[in-house]
A = this chain, B = another copy of it.
Amino acid sequence: MAEENYDSRKIDGRSLSKKVEEQVKQGVDKLKAEKGVIPGLATILVGEDPASKMYVRLKHKACERVGIHAEDHNMPESTTQEELMLRIQELNARKDIHGILLQLPLPEHLDDKSAMLAIDPAKDADGFHPYNMGKLLIGDEGLVPCTPKGVIRALEEYNVEIQGKHAVIVGHSNVVGKPMAAMLINRNATVSVCHVFTDDLTKFTLDADILVVGTGVMHLIKADMVKEGAVIFDVGITEKEGKVYGDVDFDNVVKKASLITPVPGGVGPMTIAILMEHVLMSASNC
């Protein structure tokens, strides 16, 4: 068979994210015109970690594209907890800032949990605050973690039925696995959550209509572990010798999947587009 056949199975995260960003841009323009409000995102980065700096840069670039005001609060590595908390409180109080994003990981001497708790839940662009996580769990989804929300958006855009389907999630992190499970349960999928302690992972993945993998284990999911026709989201990223790999052995698994995200160019761009959507949402609600 020709490669082209497989190309049509690829979930194109880049073009999907462009579509979402275009919608956000329209919303931003409308908000400016009707209420004179310019949505504002403040990112807080403590230290000089190169990967974190790159992520922050990508988010600022997206803000530029959609017309969101972005501020880069790059605080020195030596920042104290008190200084960090004070900065968060200042940003909470500012009327021109609608989203606050604390780039993780923080340097080891800082407590990320209390810092994240200090962010006003209404400005919690990442959706990690317990209040927002709890609303998610009880089915009242507002600001929710961006990566799983991006998966939901992709399912919607590709008209994949969720209700009654068996969705299998591999990885039970707070950032992906657990909120992903909550979102799929809220949409009436039958949801199984697997992880490193799961006895027979293949038994579950083989039965998955929708498979979401976020473990950070390079090429964990092989072709013989997935069902013919499955819809597969690869949230993992491993860097090796300057190349990035996902958790799914894409080249072989694509032959069985009906839809599948590549790495890179799959879930990543969607995550940032959803972040933009969140800032607009917070600015619209204020």
| Residues of chain A at the chain B interface (Cβ within 8 Å) | 113, 128-140, 163-164, 166, 172, 174, 177-179, 181-182, 185, 188-195, 197-199, 204
Contact = CB atoms under 8 A, between A and B. Distances in A.
Contacts of A179: 137
A194 to B, nearest CB: 5
A27 B113 CA distance: 29
Given A130-B134, A130-B140, A133-B133, A190 B197 contact: yes
Given A137-B136, A138-B174, A190 B190 contact: no
Given A130-B131, A191-B192, 15 more contacts: A130-B138, A131-B131, A133-B134, A133-B138, A134-B136, A137-B137, A137-B174, A138-B174, A138-B178, A172-B185, A172-B188, A178-B182, A188-B195, A189-B197, A190-B204
A197 B192 contact: no
Nearest to A204: B190
A193 B130 CA distance: 22
A181 B185 contact: yes
A65 to B, nearest CB: 31
The 3 tightest CB contacts between A and B, nearest first, are A134-B134, A130-B134, A133-B134
Nearest to A189: B197
A38 B130 CA distance: 29
12 contacts: A113-B140, A129-B134, A130-B137, A130-B138, A134-B137, A164-B197, A172-B188, A177-B185, A178-B182, A181-B193, A190-B204, A192-B192
A200 to B, nearest CB: 9
Contacts of A164: 197-199
Contacts of A129: 134
